[in-house]
Chain A
Amino acid sequence: MDVKKNPLSLQLNVDDFVPATADEKESLVVMRESVGFWKDGFRRFRKNKIAMAAFTVVMIIMVLAFIVPAFYPYAYEEQMKGSERLGIMEYSAKELQMMEAGESVFPHFLGTDQNGRDYTIRVLVGARVSMTVGIVASLLILIIGSVYGAVAGYFGGKTDMVMMRIVDVLYTIPDVLIIILLAQVLKFPLQNLAAVPGFGWITALGPNMVSMFLVFALLYWVGMARIVRGQIMVLKQNEYVTAAKALGATNGRIIKKHLITNCIGTLIVTTTLQIPSSIFTESFLSFLGLGVQAPMPSLGSLASNALNGLQTYPEKLFAPAFMIFIIILSFNLLGDGLRDAFDPKMKK
């Protein structure tokens, strides 16, 4: 039905209003999906070879420290009579007999310590203790620091003044002195508290470890609080905060929904970089004998114990030393990579 169309007529062409075909629709689709915050960050992160390598190493150590001990044929506190002070890959006389009888004996890769405990598993469990302390402490710091910083930054004025002066004081307190004091002091009250029903978990973790968490929670959040406060002070100028306020959102909701979520990049990066420094402090305390309680090993206490036998059994020092080095190094590199990926502005 070809209608003759008058060129001067304003009558519209019917064909122009036919529904689009699949092909036509295809051509109008945006070529690439929009890149969100996470996707953009991960893409940048994946391109960073050093950071990816560090991430892989962290994952391997996690598996070694948290999963392997569950399947390992020896336990970290298991004392084997007759196999004291074995060297690398050595077997005790009893184990040699068993092997001659045709039984298979799992090798002591790193030998055993003076109490006949397999050293490999002790190093692995030590890594687990150090990593646990590092990660839990960093999470505590994250929670306390970000809430404190957000409140101070959001309310500003006198609230901010008072809260930040407190931070300043805590910041200038020589941390290690107070940590050593607290680690020593908190031991007894915690032991008493562990006897109270409902606090049995303290014994499970060991009072020393709990006191270490407390110490970190009390002192180390100040850096995080300062960073978060700075971010919030900038973010709260944004229009969406004004909009949320105009819509009647409460202060708590604005902080939680709008401000904290917007500085998530900084939070992730700061927390990741906090982990190695917490591990640093933990191994330092354990080395001084103020860390986790025997028989639970920590990389610091293993290194400290190895000092006495340094002449004859240097590998007893090298193993935990290497482990600490690798853990701290890979967390540092991972944190740097995350910073470059998620928080390019923070790049130094």
Chain B
Amino acid sequence: MVKYIVKRILFGVLTAFVVATLTFFIMNLVPGGPFLSEKAVTPQAQAAMEAKYGLDKPLFVQYLTYMGDILHGDMGMSLKKRGFTVNDIIRNKFPVSARLGLLAVLVSVLIGVPLGSVAAYNRGKAVDNVIIVFSTAGIAIPTFLSSTLMMYFFSVKLKILPSLGLQTPASYIMPVLALSLYPASYIARLMRSSMLDVIGQDYMRTARAKGVSTFKSIFKHALRNAILPVVTYLGPLLAYLMTGSFIVEKIFTIPGLGSEFVAAIPSRDYPLIMGTTIFLACLIIMMNVLVDIAYAFIDPRIKLK
């Protein structure tokens, strides 16, 4: 067990390192630097700027310096937002994205798991068909469509929900719903098929034969086994929500890390791009490792290798 966990963590660290290296070199492939777009910069001034940020050194030296700094938790200064370090920006913006993402995870699980179970228990009946239709439609709608359509109906037409920012609790409704539509539908489908599997198992029949109530058999026997595939999906789900939030943050003008990342790319704010990518990547990798380990604890049948 310990060996497995250590192995998993080491592998996560390796992946994080690969991501950091990839991002660094991919970004430096772009011709032109971050200071080219500004007007009226003399060559001397530009050279001075580049020297200040260490951009005049050979690429490999830059790479080593950067990796060294990152290991000390220093992601450098933003090139475009003068006076802000990347750490500051992440510290300010990440909580916004995280709150939104976690709420969306919660909502998707709370919607998806019951819907999937209900569908499985009523297999072939009208309820099942309705849930199947909705969950199939739900995974065919990209986030940007659900957000824009919701915005049109609730903000523009009915004027009952605010369309911008996150000032009031009501303004969370649309972004969170838009983010959870796809995962909730996916979880419902996942839950339905694994629940069907579990219902057919012998121990369910035994439980019923022993006189266990329907309620208890669902919660004590079926749900605990059927929820395993959903647990595996939670890791990628978090990844999806962190990245899906680029769109939602753009549409609802939410000052989160996603919109910061998207804005940093065209302006070539190298340290900010690197910082956000590595930060989000590490977060996602960490979530995956945690889910893998949690999975082994939840289901003792899984042999750890």
Nearest CB in chain B: distance from A309 CB, A: 11
A329–B136 touching, CB < 8 Å: yes
The segment out of A141-149, A182-190, A235-243, A264-272 that lies at the interface is A182-190
Query: Which residues from B are CB-within-8-Å of A300?
Result: 142, 144
Nearest CB in chain A: distance from B27 CB, A: 7
A275 on interface, CB distance cutoff 8 Å: no
Q: Considering only CB atoms, which chain B residue lies closest to A307 in the complex?
A: B148
A321–B15 touching, CB < 8 Å: no
A188–B31 touching, CB < 8 Å: yes
* Total number of A residues with any Cβ neighbor in B under 8 Å: 40
B300 on interface, CB distance cutoff 8 Å: no
CA distance A266 to B268 in the complex (A): 42
Nearest CB in chain B: distance from A308 CB, A: 11
Q: 1/0 contact trace for A189-211 toward B, CB 8 Å?
A: 10010000000000000000000
A280 on interface, CB distance cutoff 8 Å: yes
B246 on interface, CB distance cutoff 8 Å: yes
CA distance A304 to B273 in the complex (A): 23
Q: Considering only CB atoms, which chain A residue lies closest to B197 in the complex?
A: A348
A176–B243 touching, CB < 8 Å: yes
The segment out of A35-43, A154-162, A283-291 that lies at the interface is A283-291
The segment out of A60-68, A165-173, A252-260 that lies at the interface is A165-173
B11 on interface, CB distance cutoff 8 Å: yes
Main secondary structure of the interface of B (DSSP, over half): helix
A169–B152 touching, CB < 8 Å: no
B2 on interface, CB distance cutoff 8 Å: no
A325–B152 touching, CB < 8 Å: no
Name B127-149 residues within 8 Å CB distance of A.
Answer: 136-137, 139-145, 148-149
CA distance A284 to B143 in the complex (A): 8
CA distance A184 to B262 in the complex (A): 11
B148–A321 touching, CB < 8 Å: yes
A310 on interface, CB distance cutoff 8 Å: yes
Given known A177-B281, A307-B148, A329-B136, contact A169–B30 (CB-CB < 8 A): no
Q: Considering only CB atoms, which chain B residue lies closest to A321 in the complex?
A: B145
A227 on interface, CB distance cutoff 8 Å: no
Q: 1/0 contact trace for B135-174 toward A, CB 8 Å?
A: 0110111111100110110001000000000000000000
A188–B152 touching, CB < 8 Å: no
A178 on interface, CB distance cutoff 8 Å: yes
A310–B148 touching, CB < 8 Å: yes
B250–A288 touching, CB < 8 Å: yes
A182–B136 touching, CB < 8 Å: no
Partner of B142, one of A283, A306, A332: A283
A129 on interface, CB distance cutoff 8 Å: no
B126 on interface, CB distance cutoff 8 Å: no
A137 on interface, CB distance cutoff 8 Å: no
* Total number of B residues with any Cβ neighbor in A under 8 Å: 47
Nearest CB in chain A: distance from B149 CB, A: 7
Q: 1/0 contact trace for A296-331 toward B, CB 8 Å?
A: 000010011011001100100100010011001100
- What number of A-B contacts does a CB cutoff of 8 Å give? 115
Nearest CB in chain A: distance from B186 CB, A: 11
Q: Considering only CB atoms, which chain B residue lies closest to A280 in the complex?
A: B142
B26 on interface, CB distance cutoff 8 Å: yes
Q: Considering only CB atoms, which chain A residue lies closest to B194 in the complex?
A: A348
A310–B144 touching, CB < 8 Å: no
A88 on interface, CB distance cutoff 8 Å: no
Query: Which residues from A are CB-within-8-Å of B149?
Result: 317, 321
Q: 1/0 contact trace for B230-248 toward A, CB 8 Å?
A: 0000000001001100110
A276 on interface, CB distance cutoff 8 Å: yes
A276–B148 touching, CB < 8 Å: no
CA distance A174 to B261 in the complex (A): 14
B89 on interface, CB distance cutoff 8 Å: no
CA distance A329 to B27 in the complex (A): 35
Query: Which residues from B are CB-within-8-Å of A180?
Result: 246, 261-262, 265
Name B26-58 residues within 8 Å CB distance of A.
Answer: 26-27, 29-32
B32–A188 touching, CB < 8 Å: yes
A288–B246 touching, CB < 8 Å: yes
A181 on interface, CB distance cutoff 8 Å: yes
Closest CB pairs A-B (n = 7): A176-B243, A329-B140, A328-B140, A348-B193, A172-B15, A287-B144, A321-B145
- What are 15 A-B pairs at a CB distance below 8 A? A172-B288, A177-B261, A181-B23, A184-B265, A192-B31, A280-B142, A287-B144, A288-B247, A288-B250, A303-B148, A307-B148, A311-B156, A314-B156, A328-B142, A332-B136
Besides A185-B30, A325-B141, 13 more A-B contacts (Cβ < 8 Å) are A169-B15, A169-B18, A173-B22, A175-B243, A176-B246, A177-B277, A180-B262, A180-B265, A181-B265, A184-B30, A287-B142, A304-B144, A329-B137
Residue ranges of B at the interface with A (Cβ–Cβ < 8 Å): 11-12, 14-15, 18-19, 22-23, 26-27, 29-32, 136-137, 139-145, 148-149, 151-152, 156, 193, 239, 242-243, 246-247, 250-251, 261-262, 265-266, 273, 277, 280-281, 284-285, 288
